[in-house]
Amino acid sequence: MKPIFRGGLPRLSFFLLIIIALGLLISDYRGDSVRPVRSALSVVLTPIQWLVDIPTSIADDISTVLLERAVLIKDNNQLRSSSIVLERKVQQMMVLRAENIRLRELLNASARVDDTVLLTELIGVNPDPFQHQVILNKGSEDGVFIGQPVLDAGGVMGQVVEVSLYTNRTMLVTDGRHALPVEVVRNGMRAIALGNGSHGELDITHIPDNADIRKGDILVTSALGERFPYGYPLAKVVSVLRDPSRKFMIVKAKPLARLNNSRYVLMVGSKPPVLVGVQEPINSVPEEEGQP
């Protein structure tokens, strides 16, 4: 490494500068004679100080801007997350509100039903498109029995066809294998409502060509099948077609129950209906003589 001050003139200049600096310090300490010079030098050096401070100020400003931008990005992400959480809560509140309305409708429906009712929840749907069946979360442990009617706030949904300990399988009225005796509220005319495999339609069969049935008539259970109690609303007639080549009219009805939307439903009745004339099976095999 090369020394800053080598021998000769540079070294002499170094010592001379030290002597001048010491002299200025002593004179400034002892009197005010150097103050004008210091003021003049301050005026001259102020722009230089400003120029020297410019990079530092720019760096501080840039750092502040970057820091504020990072803080803003972080706050924005937090606000976005909070907004998503609040939107989810609002959606849940909407679902709960709709569910509350449906439960109120069910309570009103149960008040109109004279029989014992059991509130149950739909937990599954049969994926087979040719079988309109749902699974409910009540079983034999809760007193459910085969043939028990199932309703929602609008009307009859179907009946129980299979029961396990904690669940049951209910066939909807639109299933192609379901048939239900009904009558017209307006005039008491009786008919049969058949499911045709369409979720929004029922076939009303065996209606003579001269029968008094109109579009808009309400159909209710007639209790003739000894399965459904009397007077439960089932469907509304939506079309009546008279064909001269047919002995019976073509009548279509729309179920009043919300078969595709209801989640909570009512199961009507507390015990299976007693069928008249049905007796317990008797063992007809005679015991052999001499056996205990």
Which range scores top for mean pLDDT: 51-55, 87-91, 230-234, 237-241?
Answer: 237-241
Percent of the chain, pLDDT > 90? 28
In order, the DSSP letters of the chain are: ---SS-TTHHHHHHHHHHHHHHHHHHHHHH-STTHHHHHHHHHHHHHHHHHHHHHHHHHHHHHHHHHHHHHHHHHHHHHHHHHHHHHHHHHHHHHHHHHHHHHHHHHHHHHH--S-EEEEEEEEE---TT--EEEES--GGGT--TT-EEE-SSSEEEEEEEE-SS-EEEEETTSTT-EEEEEETTT--EEEEEE-S-TT-EEEE--BTT----TT-EEEE-STTSSSPTT-EEEEEEEEE--TTSSB-EEEEEESS-TTT--EEEEE-SSPPPPTT--------PPPTT--
Confidence (pLDDT) at 262? 82
133-148: pLDDT as tens digits:
999 999 999 999 999 9
Confidence (pLDDT) at 76? 79
CATH of domain 117-268: 2.40.10.340
233-257: pLDDT as tens digits:
899 999 999 888 888 899 999 999 9
Residue range(s) of every CATH 2.40.10.340 domain in the chain: 117-268
Confidence (pLDDT) at 280? 40
Confidence (pLDDT) at 114? 54
pLDDT greater at residue 277 or residue 249: 249
pLDDT at 10 over 80: no
168-212: pLDDT as tens digits:
999 999 999 999 999 998 888 999 999 999 888 999 988 988 889
